[in-house]
């Protein structure tokens, strides 16, 4: 067993790194400060072939395997977590269209999604339905011509920028969740920006209001006959993977900044790196990031092998990596002292961005419940019945 990138992956990684350094890193601070990711940056990313990059070439993607896909997320994410988030969110829409959309929908939408002429956003969360996605209230009532959507979605990443929303709504008043592709300009849809988030400030969140919003039946993804929640699970399975790598990116960026600063900053007559307690922090940070990266590689490898264990591996990777990002970013701020909380160093932004990672794409607590269930089945043979 060799745990090492092959030549192709190393070449891809170098290319991604070069792209991020040229096009993304110089904009990261501005994106965070302005709370806006410029459309022309999204266009640049699209022209490079980095939107829907995991999709097969015949559908406009680059056919990146999951390890390569992860490396793309890490290199972009090291430069800017917001730009990385764009890849994650947009690709979740592309993934669902690819896996669950009908032939016609794939043919129409995938070329636009991969070319970036259409940016996607995933609209699941509601004011009263976050972790409890099963309790969404937005409804899709069938009519002679299609469906009518009513309801509200909130905290929708890139809702301010997206051209196309994958909206998860309940079929009928009380049916299972199904998906709809809804264009930004659809009558009955109102998009309201959300500003002032703690982290991932450039992810341009929005609230969506659907008031008798009519959509054609052709825009439906999935069906009421599908296993309930399969559409949501399909989207989040990819999103979680992207977020796990985004966390590795934050961790790695923090480690690099911290090792550099520890060599430059002198206290008590010597650089910070020669103080033992700082060394301990640096060691923990470095080890933590590498452990997270290995979990991500394992998830990627299992995904590429179409192994059913990929689902659990992705949960574990996201869970560990998101907590790691917070630990490492916190230590990075600590090492930087007053500079770390001043906004003059990127670690301050990484610290705020890391905080979001434990909430999105399945909160830490949801991961803990879900992963424990896998463990109970694996180590105890079954999940014990819950006692009242």
Partner 1 sequence: MRDFLGRSLGNSKLLDDDDIFKVGGATSLFAMELVLFIEKQFGIALEDDDLERANFATVDALTALVDRKLTP
Catalytic residues: 361
**Segment contacting partner 1 by CB under 8 A, of 59-67, 221-229, 269-277, 285-293:** 221-229
Count of residues in contact with partner 1, rule CB under 8 A = 27
Under rule CB under 8 A, residue 114 binds partner 1: no
Under rule CB under 8 A, residue 228 binds partner 1: yes
Name which of 261 and 320 has its Cβ closer to partner 1: 320
Closest by CA position to 123, among listed 82, 179, 203: 179
Name which of 278 and 315 has its Cβ closer to partner 1: 315
x/- track of binding to partner 1 for residues 320-359 (CB under 8 A): ----------------------------------------
Name which of 230 and 341 has its Cβ closer to partner 1: 230
Candidate list 102, 127, 193, 263; residue touching partner 1; CB under 8 A: 102
Name which of 40 and 385 has its Cβ closer to partner 1: 385
Under rule CB under 8 A, residue 185 binds partner 1: no
Rounded to 5 degrees, what angle do the CA atoms 362, 364, 370 make?
70
Query: How many Å apart are CA 63 and CA 91, to the nearest integer?
Result: 13
Under rule CB under 8 A, residue 108 binds partner 1: no
Under rule CB under 8 A, residue 143 binds partner 1: no
Q: How far is the CB of 101 from partner 1 (least distance, A)?
A: 8
**CB within 8 Å of 387: residues ≥ 6 apart:** none
Under rule CB under 8 A, residue 175 binds partner 1: no
Name which of 300 and 340 has its Cβ closer to partner 1: 300
Residues in touch with partner 1 (CB under 8 A): 100-102, 222-223, 225-230, 232-234, 237, 306-308, 310-311, 370, 376-377, 380-383
């Amino acid at each position: 067993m060799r745990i090492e990138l092959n030549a192709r992956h190393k070449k891809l990684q170098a290319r991604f790194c070069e792209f991020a350094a040229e096009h993304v890193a110089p904009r990261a601070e501005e994106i965070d400060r302005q709370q806006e990711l410029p459309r022309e940056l999204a266009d640049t990313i699209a022209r490079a072939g980095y939107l829907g990059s995991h999709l097969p070439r015949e559908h406009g993607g680059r056919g990146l395997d999951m390890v390569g896909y992860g490396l793309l997320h890490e290199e972009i994410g090291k430069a800017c977590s917001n730009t990385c988030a764009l890849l994650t969110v947009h690709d979740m829409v592309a993934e669902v269209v690819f896996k669950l959309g009908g032939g016609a929908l794939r043919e129409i939408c995938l070329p636009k999604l991969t070319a970036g002429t259409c940016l996607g956003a995933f609209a699941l969360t509601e004011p009263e339905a976050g972790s409890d996605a099963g309790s969404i209230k937005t409804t899709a009532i069938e009519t002679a011509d299609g469906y009518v959507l009513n309801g509200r979605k909130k905290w929708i990443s890139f809702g301010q920028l997206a051209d196309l929303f994958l909206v998860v709504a309940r079929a009928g008043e009380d049916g299972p969740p199904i998906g709809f592709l809804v264009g930004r300009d659809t009558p009955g849809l109102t998009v309201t920006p959300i500003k002032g988030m703690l982290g991932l400030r450039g992810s341009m969140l929005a609230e969506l209001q659907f008031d008798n919003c009519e959509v054609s039946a052709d825009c439906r993804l999935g069906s009421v006959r599908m296993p309930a929640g399969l559409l949501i699970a399909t989207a989040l399975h990819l999103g979680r993977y992207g977020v796990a790598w985004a966390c590795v990116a934050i961790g790695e960026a923090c480690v690099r900044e911290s090792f550099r600063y520890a060599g430059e900053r002198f206290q008590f007559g010597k650089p910070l790196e020669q103080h033992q307690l700082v060394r301990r922090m640096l060691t923990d940070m470095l080890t933590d990031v590498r452990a997270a990266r290995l979990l991500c590689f394992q998830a990627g490898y299992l995904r590429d092998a179409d192994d059913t264990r990929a689902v659990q591996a992705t949960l574990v990777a996201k869970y560990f990596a998101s907590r790691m990002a917070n630990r490492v970013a916190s230590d990075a701020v600590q090492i930087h002292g007053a500079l770390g909380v001043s906004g003059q160093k990127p670690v301050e932004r990484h610290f705020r961005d890391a905080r979001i990672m434990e909430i999105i794409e399945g909160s830490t607590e949801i991961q803990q419940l879900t992963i424990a269930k896998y463990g109970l089945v694996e180590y105890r043979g079954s999940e014990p019945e819950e006692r009242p």
